[in-house]
Structure 1
Amino acid sequence: MVEVWLPYGDSEVCVRIPTASLLDVIKPKDIDVPPDPQEEIRSALKNPVGGKSIGDIAKSKTKVSIVLDESFFQINRMIIHTLIDELRSAGIRDEDVTLIIAHDPFRLSSEHDLPSNAGLFERLKIIRHSPGNCENAYFESPSGIKFYLNGDFPEADVKILVGMVEPHPLIGYTGGWELIIPGIADTNSSNEIFKLGLDEITRRGRLKDNPVYEEISGAAEKVHVDLALHIVMNGEFKVVKAFAGEVDKSFLEAVKFADSIYRIPVEDRADIVFISPGGS
């Protein structure tokens, strides 16, 4: 028998498998972690993939809105500190920055995911998006699904998206326009779009011909976004690479890099597969 320990919350669960029946144990590929993750993020902001740097975008502007993935609290703190440093250099005051915590319908929200109210975060306007309270910014998806957005985002002079890029069972990969829908959209439109996930073509890591991804990107791209920052992590949830710039270009570069970590070839199909999402 072979013992395989799967991460489960803060602990692990042991699965015992007959040696002859075990095809493989698949994990994300090991990849070097940058010595200074904050410098990796700062470098991405100064060297965008398409579009302008954050300094050029924010110059002569006043109001900034940042949509932030609500997971990975410690990484988010580091990202926001780095972003604010760059915005200050461009003349933006902390008091003129709104931080919108995106809604994730597949994850229970926790107050622990919100940045601390101490220091820097006391000076920012912080909003947790409520998908049941959207009355502004009406748009349509390619198939005609109507959706509404959190009004604080479209009204800003500078609009920024910040998210983690990792495999998602319906969208293909998180990040990109997913931070708009469902991130800051209303409940009804998000539900309608995710019904498309019943199509068997939707799966983790697939963007091409994925109806959920196509609907989300086709609708959300109608919202003008100035900059996106995408973070790729390894299997231990540590920052390994950052991509900033135009939404689609930076997202696809991040997906390409994430594929090199998470897309693992297998020799044969198994009859039984035990899966762990990686623990907490």
Structure 2
Amino acid sequence: MKIRIPYGKGFLETTISDKRIAGIITSNLDRYETEESENEIIKKAMQHPYGCCRLEKLAKGKNKIVIIASDHTRPVPSRLIIPLMLEEIKRGNPDAEITILIATGCHRETTRNELTEKFGKEIVNKIPIVIHDCDAREQVYLGKLPSGGELFINKMAAEADLLIAEGFIEPHFFAGYSGGRKSVLPGIASRKTVYANHCAEFIADPKAQYGILEGNPIHEDMIFAARKAGLAYIVNVVINSRHKVIGAFAGDAEDAHLKGVQFLEGLCKTDKIISPIVITSNNGFPMDQNIYQSVKGMATAENCCEKGGVIIMAAECREGCGAEGFYKTFSQEKDAGIILEKILSTGRNKTEADQWQSQIFARIVHKFTVILVSAAEPELVRQMHLIPADNLEHALSIADTILGREKKITIIPEGLTSIIRV
């Protein structure tokens, strides 16, 4: 069987004996077809919102309207969504004061060029755009999260007469799914609030993983934050690997998000296929630019790999490791078990930058051998507790040496959009 795995802006290919393949787990996102254009899909969603009235009615009598928009790290088609949202607002309230608030969470500031690429020149030149700063002094306290953490959010959002958001829904490796409530937490929350939500205790919870919302403590904090912030309306989309809109869901922040989740589950959720060897990817560029991001694909493979087995991760990693603190954590300690133990003993209010990613990565490399097919320097790969490989054939030969030949293989071509039912 010929295997094709996303890698950078292309693919890696190899041939594997049929008798070795336990199964192939794929997403149906790219096979989903609709005759409607992207604009038509979004418009129809906004014309028939879930759980609330149309945006133009919500906008009536509201002077200060804030639209939370995703930042440069998310492939949300804002050029399509924002103009349609502005159009409805203007119909309901032509004199509304509208501001776009970029939900950076704890990411770096979005640049002017990135804003223009995201929204187009017309919106950037006409609509005030504010970049959220998670370390800003002026933030508004909205109470205690269910977790016990303190909820601080962006002052502009807290003082808005109407708070709404755009976004997209995809599987998320500890929040269950992206979109909806995540526009508020972590999107426009303080660093202190984000770190409390991403604490070691919650990341270790068995329900804090891909495809799970009910009972997920991270999700429950996020829902609470969205309610407290008064997030009244969202437009969320589902996109395929070409970043084309195939589904849109508008209305109440919880109801519309749940409808989008159900749509996505129908295309992506599948039963696990357990094997000693699992081959996966981080869906190619832009998500496989570094080792840090590649942890997400490994977390999918984790659910299908036998304990003590081998995960083969195909990720170009053109930017190397991707996070300095993440690199230091693993390059300075050879025992992943010790790293994991240290993180698990870290109190909720002592969470450090990128600790959640380090925790999940330590858990994976402690349980499995991970072979990385990448363009990263082999020495860097080894420092990060991974085994470097030049290509899939090389990786399989290493796996066979470790486990013995003719072991079964599960293949998950797109690790970020395949939800393993657990």
- TM-score w.r.t. the length of structure 2 is 0.61
Residue equivalent to 1:199: 205
Out of 202, 209, 216, which is 2:215 matched to? 209
CA distance in 1, matches of 2:137, 2:282: 31
Q: Tell me the SS of whatever aligns to 2:163.
A: strand
Q: Percent identity?
A: 26
CA RMSD of aligned residues (A): 2.1
CA distance in 2, matches of 1:14, 1:135: 52
Q: Tell me the SS of whatever aligns to 2:196.
A: helix
Out of 166, 172, 185, which is 1:168 matched to? 172
**Higher RCO, Cα 8 Å, sep 6+:** 1
Q: Tell me the SS of whatever aligns to 2:224.
A: helix
Distance 1:22 1:248, change over 3 A: same
Is 1:145 matched with 2:149?
yes
CA distance in 1, matches of 2:23, 2:95: 53
Out of 132, 135, 138, which is 2:138 matched to? 135
CA distance in 2, matches of 1:215, 1:169: 16
CA distance in 1, matches of 2:137, 2:146: 20
Out of 78, 82, 94, which is 2:80 matched to? 78
Alpha carbons 1:40, 1:242 under 8 Å: kept? yes
- The Cα of 1:104 is off from its aligned counterpart by 4.8
Regions of 4+ moved over 3 Å: 14-18, 107-113
**Higher alpha-carbon Rg:** 2
- The Cα of 1:16 is off from its aligned counterpart by 4.8
Return 5+ residue gaps in structure 2 as ranges: 286-422
- The Cα of 1:14 is off from its aligned counterpart by 3.3
Q: Tell me the SS of whatever aligns to 2:49.
A: coil
Alpha carbons 2:139, 2:190 under 8 Å: kept? no
Cα-to-partner distance string for 1:62-96 (whole Å, 9 max, x where unaligned)? 221011122226x11111111111122223358x2
Alpha carbons 1:100, 1:127 under 8 Å: kept? yes
Tell me which amino acid in the other structure corresponds to 1:246: D
Alpha carbons 1:33, 1:238 under 8 Å: kept? no
Distance 1:256 1:150, change over 3 A: same
- TM-score w.r.t. the length of structure 1 is 0.90
Residue equivalent to 2:369: none
Residue equivalent to 1:271: 276
CA distance in 2, matches of 1:34, 1:131: 41
- The Cα of 1:138 is off from its aligned counterpart by 0.7
Is 1:234 matched with 2:240?
yes
CA distance in 1, matches of 2:83, 2:211: 30
Residue equivalent to 2:45: 44
Distance 1:156 1:218, change over 3 A: closer
Q: Tell me the SS of whatever aligns to 2:235.
A: strand
Residue equivalent to 1:8: 7
Alpha carbons 1:134, 1:148 under 8 Å: kept? no
Tell me which amino acid in the other structure corresponds to 2:215: D
CA distance in 1, matches of 2:136, 2:255: 31
CA distance in 2, matches of 1:18, 1:277: 24
Distance 1:79 1:261, change over 3 A: same
- The Cα of 1:54 is off from its aligned counterpart by 0.4
Alpha carbons 1:165, 1:255 under 8 Å: kept? yes
- The Cα of 1:199 is off from its aligned counterpart by 1.8
CA distance in 1, matches of 2:88, 2:181: 23
- The Cα of 1:122 is off from its aligned counterpart by 0.7
- The Cα of 1:251 is off from its aligned counterpart by 0.8
CA distance in 1, matches of 2:79, 2:176: 26
Out of 238, 258, 269, which is 2:264 matched to? 258
- The Cα of 1:226 is off from its aligned counterpart by 1.9
Is 1:155 matched with 2:159?
yes
Cα-to-partner distance string for 1:136-180 (whole Å, 9 max, x where unaligned)? 221220132002111111212221011101100010000111110
